[in-house]
Every structure is written in C-alpha cells, then in structure tokens.
Structure 1
C-alpha cells in the first residue's frame, strides 16, 4: 500500500509528534485560492504516489491567491509517472536553512530494519549513495536491541547538525517506532528540513505499508492511495482474482503466488516476457473460465503456460476447470502444460483426452516451448 504525501503526514507523522507544515488538500483551482487565504505564501504540490514530482513540474510556489489558482489549474490533471493528479496539497512556505534525508526500511540481505540518514537531503538518494556513499549513514537494527534516541545520536555523531542536533535523533527514533507500529515497508522523509526559526520539519514523506498487514491497520489502509488499474485488472478484482497485466507475450496461469512468480522468472530466464501475474490457488480454481478469459484478453498474449503443482490442492481438479474453460472459450493461442503433485496422473489424462495436448515432464521445457511459440516459432 502506497500513501500520498498528505495522508502520510496527517495519518502517521503528525500523530507521532513529528512536525509537518500546515497544509490544506484541494481538488480544484478555486479551492486552492481559498486555501491560500488561510495559509498565505505556499507550495502547491501534486498528490501522486511517486517521486520526482518537482522535476515533472508537479511542485510550484504560489505567492498570491490568483497564483495559487493558476498553478493548481496547471498541475491538476497532469500525468506524473503514469499517475493522474486529482488533488494538490497547499503547504505554507518554509524558510529552509538545511535539508536532511531520513528513512526506515528493510534490508533484505540481513533481514533487519535499516535506518538511513544523510545531510544531503532534497536530492535523489540513489545519486548520493552512488557518488558520495560516505554521506549516507546506515544502521542495521537488532530487533532485540531496538533503536532509540541514544542509538540515533550515535548514528549522526560528528555530522555537525547545528540547531538540529537535538531534534534529529528524536525524529529518527520516532520514525523507527512508527515503522513497527504501522507495519511500514518504507518511511522516507526527504527533505527533513532545519528551518530558519530552528524547527526541524518533515517537508515531504513517502510511506509504503505491507499489504498483508492491512487487517492490522484497517483505518490506515482506508487512507492508502488507490492503485491505478487497467480494465482487465479491475475486472479481475471484481471477480476476486489478483490479476496484474504486463506488457509481455507469454500468458501465465498457475496455482499459488509463489509458483506463479517462479513461472514468470523462468519465462524471463528463457528469453521471454511474461504477460501477466494471475494465480488460481485456493478457491480461485473454481473461477478458471474467468481467469483464462482475463489472461487471453490481453492483446499481447501469443502463447500460454499453465503450471500446476499440487500439494493440498489437487491438480486434477484444477486441470478439469481449465480444460472445461478452454472448450467453452475455444482460444486460438498455443498452450503448454506442466503438471506435478497430487492428482497429476488424472490431471495429465484430462488434458490429453480433453484437449489432445501432452503436458511436459519439466516446467522449464513447457516454458521454453511457450517462449518459442510467442516469438513466432511453431508450437511443439
């Protein structure tokens, strides 16, 4: 789950005591002009769940109500990194003395939380890490030890933070507490700014939460940014299927998210391009016809891999659903099966007798055949 800047600040940072600027969310130029009357000189900021908004022209200053209206009118409706701007956040302008960078994320190599801090805020952190790695402080957190203000002071020691010396460790410790409390995959503040009046304020915030923890964060989950969906993805959601449309040419139908992702990886390894993510594990196998239609409705699909591996789920039950759906839909793309696990003898017989297709003994062979067919080779 990704969150727009205004939601991350209002729902997470501000309640935790991390200072944020005064701001008003607006969905029209007229609302922006009205908000200016309350805020005064402000920044008009596109609200989309992506970075580099400033470079795209999505963040502009406004020094009069008319200017706020004009700037908002220009930004509303823009497309930034594929996201259409429906709202803008007007925030009071800040007199910035220094800009810092702070983030809490997961280091997957060590399987530990990672605290990042840099005095090079306001820039692309990837560029800082690549060109000036010493400017980025890192602290891997031992879960038993945690990360408190004392640990934060040690992290920023010697950086000469000036008037921010006392506030930055408190904010870093608060961010670490928040990351656990809200099941965050990432909390990033860039910039974390020292203002002329001595305050340290979060001028921006990027927040990503673990989707699987939504049940623990029901109120927060409701504030997450809506994910842009294609027509097919929305149709899948309407039928209770997790379908993600990609720009490849090899369709994928498998049971279980892990097997589906593995199949996609093997397609890429074999030189092909997966056209979708769609798994029909659990009760989803009862929706085989809908699932098959979704995959084949992607105009880029030139071949299909059906990959079933049964443990608790029976492959013959899943195969029966696909065979029945195939007969009803009568698609014209070549299909390649790989079937293993519980009920595989029955499943192979169903595919052989029902469709006249012989499943492959190895998944990689089925994938290679599908990739070959998608690139214009004869089905084999």
Structure 2
C-alpha cells in the first residue's frame, strides 16, 4: 500500500530530510493561492500512485499564480496511469544541479533491508540498472545492527559528489532507513534526491510503500493509504482485501480453500496438473480461519465455481480447529456445489470425524484424490476429467 508523494514527503521532513516547500490543492483556486503564498516559480504535480508522471504530463510548471491556476485546472479531474487526479502538490521549483537516487527496501534474497544509492537519478532504477548497472551501489543491512553512519558514508564516497554533498547524502540514507524501520515500510524511495546549486541535498520526490501486515500498528497512516491502481483487482479481490484475506480471483471452475500460502499454491498446481483450472487463490491459515464464513462466501460468489477443494495440513496449526470454522461456514451458507476434503496433520482424527458427522462425507486419503474428484465434479456434462 502506497502513500502519495506529499504524504511521503511529510514523513521524510518530520524525520529530518529536507523537502521543497509546498501545499496540496484540490481546486484551481487553491492552487493559485498556494502559488501566491510560495511566491516563486512552482511545479504542480499530480498526486497519484503512478511513476513517470513527468513524461505523462503529470508535472507542470508555473511562473505565477495565474499560470498555477490554469495548470491545476488542466490536471485536476484528468486521469494519469489509470488514476483520477483529485489533488495536486504545488511546490517551489527546485534549482537542480544534479540528480541522485536513494532507496531502502525489503530484499527477498537477504531477507532483510537493502539500501541502494546511485549518482544518477530521475529515472526508474530498472532503467539505470539496464544502462549502467555498475553505478548502483548496494548494501544489505543486518537488521540487528542497522545502517551505520560509516556504512552510509561508504555508499556515497568516491563518486565525485564533494565533501558537503557526501555528508548530506549519507545523512539522507540514515534518515530514510530510520523511517523505513519506524513505519515498517516495504519501500522508502527518493528519486530524484537532488543536489541544488548551493550543494544542498533535497528530496524532490518520495515513494513510500507500507507493509499491509503492519497497518494495525500504524493507525495514524491508514487513512492516507492509496492502493496501486494495478492492484485494485476485481470486486471479489477488493472484498478480500477489506477482510484482510489473501484472495486472488482466477479463471477456472475449481474453488480452493487451504491453510498457508505454500499449501494453497501446491493445491493450485495439483488442480492444473490433473487437467483442471483453479478458480481462486485463498489461504485461511493463521487466524484467517476465524473468517471462514466470509472467505467461503468469496469463493461461492464467483459464478464460475462448480466444485470446491478444502485442503488442510497442520503442524502447529490444528486441522480440527480450522475444519470446525469451515464446517460452520458451510452450515451457514449451505452451498449447493460439491465439496472435497483432504485433511492431514495435527488434530486430523477429530477433523475427519467432524466432516463425517456434520456433512456425511469422508475426506480423501490424499490431496491428489480430492483434487481429481473436484475436477471431475466441475467438468461440464459429457466431458471426462483428465
């Protein structure tokens, strides 16, 4: 989940990284007033969760308040990268001598924070990497010790930036890392981090993506979140996110409920392997089993679903507890489609007994058998499942 630029800049400024003076405007009149207060040449920047706004016409410059009003009138109500422009950031135009790139992000390879710094900014890091990969400096940070001042300074030295800029750039990295840890972000990116003609380092842009799993600990930021337009998904997927469920709607006919992302993916692979097509990704591990009724409703509200596989495998998680939740959901929603169970692990004897007693069916001995049965049940009349 992303913060808009002005929201990210507010956090950066509060943490100690300089940003240009600016005001948010939602009407042309407000943009004109903001430009008058700033009293300088301004940039009007569309506030949408999309990159490359400059190339798409989402950043317009104005030399006076009247031009700012005109520019805002053109931006507000338009669409940029599939996002409606509801607000613009009216910001003092920067005196740019050089553009840098800096970010702190989650690194799957090292399972910890990764700090990136590059003396060429103003473009996507992928473009920089493709053009001059050796320019990008990387530092995997040990989460136990954090980013040190010496390590931050080493990232910016030897690039011809000069002593004053090196000092400010390394301080910017430390500030970004502290903010990354404080708000439990997945990404804190400043592109460009500019050097002015006075050798001051300023964050000219800001992209901060927060970890959805940590939002409960940061209620003060939740109201400012903006979902990526590409991730808004279908109506069912939006409902799933609102429920805190990991749900993806797919194109098939075999619905899937499983505990844990790994087992869910394995079940989807099995459905595909045996000639079926999965209808969804939906895992109800952890405490998600307490949401079994809305989870099952998500699956059933997909009109393509013709059968359902429930696949539970528990080690620390108890399969009897998860099965109890799903059975209660089935009894409440009374689905008419056939349901096929595979249950193994902690509490499986009780779980299997519950399915027999309350539904009058036997779980299958293996996941493969349950999947094949579900595929056969979902097949159109006259078609033999593979």
TM-score normalized by the length of structure 1:
0.82
Partners of 1:165 and 1:312 in 2: CA distance: 50
Q: 1:173 to 1:308 in 2, by over 3 A?
A: same
Partners of 1:45 and 1:78 in 2: CA distance: 12
> Which structure 1 segments of 5+ residues have no match?
none
Q: 1:265 to 1:5 in 2, by over 3 A?
A: farther
What SS does the corresponding residue of 2:312 show, helix, strand or coil?
Answer: strand
Q: Are the counterparts in 2 of residues 245 and 298 from structure 1 also a CA contact under 8 Å? A: no
Q: Which residue of 2 aligns with 1:197?
A: 198
Q: 1:150 to 1:277 in 2, by over 3 A?
A: same
Q: Are the counterparts in 2 of residues 280 and 291 from structure 1 also a CA contact under 8 Å? A: no
1:311-355 deviation digits (Å, cap 9, x = unpaired): 566534544554454466454555432211244344335545655
CA-CA distance at 1:366 after TM superposition:
3.7
CA-CA distance at 1:20 after TM superposition:
0.5
Stretch moving more, 154-163 or 199-208: 154-163
Q: Are the counterparts in 2 of residues 314 and 342 from structure 1 also a CA contact under 8 Å? A: yes
Q: 1:135 to 1:326 in 2, by over 3 A?
A: same
326, 337, 342: which is aligned to 2:341?
337
Partners of 1:76 and 1:220 in 2: CA distance: 24
Give the alignment of 1:240-251 within 5 angstroms: 240=243, 242=245, 244-249=247-252, 250-251=254-255
Q: 1:340 to 1:114 in 2, by over 3 A?
A: same
Q: 1:75 to 1:267 in 2, by over 3 A?
A: farther
Asked if residue 182 in structure 1 is aligned to residue 183 in structure 2, the reply is: yes
Partners of 2:89 and 2:385 in 1: CA distance: 54
Partners of 1:84 and 1:302 in 2: CA distance: 37
Partners of 2:142 and 2:94 in 1: CA distance: 36
Q: Which residue of 2 aligns with 1:158?
A: 158
Q: 1:178 to 1:347 in 2, by over 3 A?
A: closer
288, 308, 312: which is aligned to 2:312?
308
Q: Which residue of 2 aligns with 1:120?
A: 120
Q: Are the counterparts in 2 of residues 334 and 379 from structure 1 also a CA contact under 8 Å? A: no
What SS does the corresponding residue of 1:178 show, helix, strand or coil?
Answer: helix
Q: Which residue of 1 aligns with 2:37?
A: 38
Partners of 2:54 and 2:338 in 1: CA distance: 46
Give the alignment of 1:313-332 within 5 angstroms: 314-316=318-320, 318-323=322-327, 325-326=329-330, 329-331=333-335
CA-CA distance at 1:47 after TM superposition:
1.9
Give the alignment of 1:73-84 within 5 angstroms: 73-84=73-84
Q: Are the counterparts in 2 of residues 267 and 368 from structure 1 also a CA contact under 8 Å? A: no
Q: Are the counterparts in 2 of residues 190 and 205 from structure 1 also a CA contact under 8 Å? A: yes
CA-CA distance at 1:370 after TM superposition:
4.9
CA-CA distance at 1:195 after TM superposition:
1.8
Q: 1:306 to 1:269 in 2, by over 3 A?
A: closer
CA-CA distance at 1:44 after TM superposition:
2.0
> Which structure 2 segments of 5+ residues have no match?
none
1:226-268 deviation digits (Å, cap 9, x = unpaired): 6757544565567x5525343443433234xxx1453135415
